[in-house]
A and B are shown apart, each in its own frame.
Chain A
């Protein structure tokens, strides 16, 4: 089976490229880290307001799950730009004249994306722990969190890959991606609970996929919040998005390679 070995070689290639361009890593981590350091200080006293936040928790423990997902968002966006690079530099064609397994090209990309989101999430988690964050469900909970975050990252990689394959323009990927990020992030339960939102944002937030993912991650980290139901719902919602976005990616990729 060349599928697995080809995927592995292309995974290694992506990871090598990533660690050798630390500037990209730096910038995609910068924003979540600024959020982590700044927002958790700025909004620290908001959780004292009665009836808005779950009782007895710090803003840090409330917002860290949201910041983890924001990080998944911003690193997923770079996935699309890397396939645009391969398309425009001719590297994709160079691969396509070899017997390389076609699906492995896409899977090597996606596995390295998932690896990257997981690694970046770990960095943010370590920082958050330093500030006083903790995960109530322990190591299994952390693993489940990372799993949900990586899965979420893959679903969004699908969007940026699809945009990249369709437009062949890194600027468009960044433009559309950047345009989507903040409205989706702020109109979700990432940073503020629904009770604190105006009605119309509440309505958006209740169907916003980020809310589902962030609620699941939060239910794993906050004390006495664990609920298998919210985790399964999140996996289901992300799964649906992934089917659509990765399906579109696969369709556009087939058109390019056929």
Chain B
């Protein structure tokens, strides 16, 4: 069994009748890097809470490493590391004490735990601040400490709920670096985000979620491929343009497989095609065989934003959480799931 996470027809209805998650299914393979992309309130956090045993599902089947999320909750808790959306560290404890406590609660101890804590302090670049109270940490440092505390027990699956929301670009790329490294070390990662760039850069597999439903899924490339056309812009050497070179180039281009349209544009040609990445090579080869000299060629692909627009009819507008929204999200027990 290579599926680390398997979710079938998951439904979660809160006590107030909100269908936060409305029949979603997906699988994450072992060592996968899976992303849940969607706007605020799409059901991302709710899904994570069900997967991490914090909320009881209304219906559906959820398994982690073959364990049932409700029958084997205790077993699952040993396998998972979780970083919630709001950064959670104990401000009165030092960075090291935070990590030690987390290790103790994961039933670790002795020199094994001490070594592990040292390792993590180095990993997230907190060596100098490890014995200072977290109260004095910057936002980025707290986030890194929070991430480290999710890793103490070497989880097999890491759940990250919007790990970079509210971070400055520098801290964001630091977090991306750690996550990439962790995934390479074999940890399965489940991440939610409202940032296209993040999903595109990190995830090997994506689901787009909106209003509690998955509207599209696949690799970032596949998803962008579904939207259809990439754009390839090319221009020819000056000598080619006069004596019908342009017409010849156009003729060649229309013969390349996958090209849907070729248009003249200022000083060059614009080609619409699916999967431009593969086609560029064919174009270059074809021009080379026919001795047509190119000055430049470039392509641009549809962004995940276009993908989201294509499937939902609206764009994601990432927003920084306002204090009020944060309060609402934190009140996880304020809205209780309805039992069936």
Where the two chains meet, the residues of A that have a C-beta atom closer than 8 Å to any C-beta of B are 2, 5-6, 9, 13, 16-17, 20-21, 87-91, 93-100, 168, 255-256, 258
Contacts and interface: CB of A to CB of B under 8 A. Distances in A.
Nearest to B133: A20
A20 B91 CA distance: 10
Interface residues of B, number: 31
B84 A98 contact: no
Interface of chain B, helix or strand or loop or mixed?
A: loop
Contacts of A95: 105
A16 B86 contact: no
Contacts of A93: 54, 84, 88, 332
Contacts of A255: 333, 336
Contacts of A94: 82, 84, 88, 102, 149
A97 B157 CA distance: 12
B106 A90 contact: no
A100 B92 contact: no
30 contacts: A5-B104, A6-B104, A9-B101, A9-B105, A13-B101, A16-B92, A17-B90, A17-B92, A20-B133, A21-B92, A88-B331, A89-B330, A90-B84, A90-B330, A93-B54, A93-B88, A93-B332, A94-B82, A94-B84, A97-B77, A98-B105, A98-B106, A99-B74, A99-B77, A99-B78, A99-B105, A168-B331, A168-B333, A255-B333, A258-B56
B38 to A, nearest CB: 21
Most interface-central of A89, A91, A94 (chain B CB within 10 A): A94
A95 B330 CA distance: 14
A116 to B, nearest CB: 15
B262 interface: no
Closest 9 CB pairs of A and B: A90-B88, A17-B92, A100-B105, A98-B105, A9-B104, A97-B82, A99-B77, A20-B92, A94-B88
Nearest to B100: A9
Interface string B38-77: 0000000000000011101000000000000000001001
Interface of chain A, helix or strand or loop or mixed?
A: helix
Contacts of A13: 90, 93, 101
A6 B333 contact: no
Contacts of B52: 97
Given A16-B92, A97-B80, 20 more contacts: A5-B104, A9-B101, A9-B104, A13-B90, A13-B93, A13-B101, A16-B93, A87-B333, A88-B330, A88-B331, A90-B330, A94-B149, A96-B53, A96-B54, A97-B82, A98-B77, A98-B105, A99-B77, A100-B105, A255-B333
B291 interface: no
Interface in B178-233: none
B187 to A, nearest CB: 16
B306 interface: no
B334 interface: yes
Nearest to A252: B333
A20 B330 CA distance: 25
A120 B57 CA distance: 45
B97 interface: yes
Interface string B97-126: 100011011110000000000000000000
B105 A6 contact: yes
Contacts of B86: 89-90
Given A87-B333, A94-B82, A258-B56, A99 B106 contact: yes
A53 to B, nearest CB: 45
Contacts of A96: 53-54
Contacts of B336: 255
A58 to B, nearest CB: 41
A13 B56 CA distance: 29
B54 A97 contact: yes
B107 A99 contact: yes
Most interface-central of A20, A90, A255, A258 (chain B CB within 10 A): A90
A2 B77 CA distance: 14
Nearest to A8: B104
A205 B256 CA distance: 96
Most interface-central of B74, B105, B336 (chain A CB within 10 A): B105
Most interface-central of A91, A98, A99, A100 (chain B CB within 10 A): A98
A95 B333 CA distance: 15
Contacts of A168: 331, 333-334
Nearest to A256: B333
B160 to A, nearest CB: 12
Most interface-central of A97, A168, A258 (chain B CB within 10 A): A97
Contacts of A87: 333
A13 B92 CA distance: 9
Contact of B102 (A17, A21, A98): A98
A108 to B, nearest CB: 11
Nearest to A99: B77
A88 B326 CA distance: 10
Contact of A97 (B53, B92, B107, B133): B53
A93 B85 CA distance: 12
Contacts of B102: 94, 98
Contacts of B106: 98-99
A80 to B, nearest CB: 15
B139 to A, nearest CB: 15
